[in-house]
Amino acid sequence: MIAYIGKRVLETIPILFVVSILIFFFTHFIPGDPARLVAGADASIEEVNQIRENLGLNDPVWQQYVNYMSGIFQGDLGHSLVSGHEVSAMIADRFWPSLYLTVASMGWALFLGLLIGTISAVYKNKFPDYAGMLTAVSGISIPNFWLGLLLIQLFSVQLGWLPTGGIDSWKGYVLPSIALGAGIMAMVARFTRSSLLDTLKSDFIRTARAKGLQEIVLIPKHALRNSLIPVVTIAGLQFGFLLGGSVVVETVFNFPGMGRLLIDSISFRDYPTIQALLLLFSIYFILVNLVVDLLYGMLNPKIKYEE
| Tens-digit pLDDT profile for residues 153-169 | 999 889 888 888 778 78
| 11 belongs to a structural domain | yes
- Which structural domain, as residue segments, surrounds residue 124? 87-299
Last residue of a domain, one of 73, 102, 131: 73
| 113 belongs to a structural domain | yes
Residues 142 and 207 grouped into a single domain: yes
| 305 belongs to a structural domain | no
**pLDDT (average), residues 74-86:** 80
**pLDDT (average), residues 67-90:** 82
Per-residue DSSP letter, 159: S
**pLDDT (average), residues 66-83:** 81
pLDDT score at 303: 56
**pLDDT (average), residues 178-199:** 88
Of 1-10, 161-170, 294-303, the poorest mean pLDDT is in: 294-303
pLDDT score at 204: 79
| Alpha-carbon distances, residue 228 vs 58, 214, 291, 297 (angstroms) | 53, 20, 15, 12
SS3 state at 126: coil
Last residue of a domain, one of 14, 45, 73: 73
pLDDT score at 302: 56
pLDDT score at 116: 92
| 15 belongs to a structural domain | yes
64 pLDDT higher than 60 = yes
297 pLDDT higher than 70 = no
| 215 belongs to a structural domain | yes
**Residue 160 vs residue 225, higher pLDDT:** 160
**pLDDT (average), residues 281-306:** 69
Residues 182 and 294 grouped into a single domain: yes
CB count in 10 Å sphere of residue 42: 6
| 189 belongs to a structural domain | yes
Residues 148 and 68 grouped into a single domain: no
Residues 168 and 279 grouped into a single domain: yes
Residues 126 and 205 grouped into a single domain: yes
Of 59-63, 111-115, 274-278, the poorest mean pLDDT is in: 59-63
Residues 97 and 37 grouped into a single domain: no
Number of domains observed in the structure of the chain: 2
Residues 6 or more apart whose CB falls under 8 angstroms from that of 44 comprise none
Residues 115-158 have pLDDT tens digits of: 999 899 888 889 989 998 898 888 888 888 888 889 999 998 89
Contact of 118 with 224, CB cutoff 8 Å: yes
Residues 67 and 118 grouped into a single domain: no
Query: Considering the chain, what percentage of its residues have pLDDT values greater than 70?
Result: 92
Contact of 136 with 186, CB cutoff 8 Å: yes
Residues 145 and 225 grouped into a single domain: yes
CA distance 204 to 72: 53
| 79 belongs to a structural domain | no
pLDDT score at 211: 78
Highest mean pLDDT among 9-23, 125-139, 210-224: 125-139
Residues 35 and 125 grouped into a single domain: no
Residues 191 and 50 grouped into a single domain: no
**pLDDT (average), residues 60-64:** 80
CA distance 230 to 241: 17
pLDDT score at 300: 59
* Confidence band of 111 (pLDDT split at 50, 70, 90): very high
Residue 187's CATH number: 1.10.3720.10
Residues 294 and 261 grouped into a single domain: yes
222 pLDDT higher than 60 = yes
306 pLDDT higher than 70 = no
| 23 belongs to a structural domain | yes
Residues 17 and 50 grouped into a single domain: yes
239 pLDDT higher than 80 = no
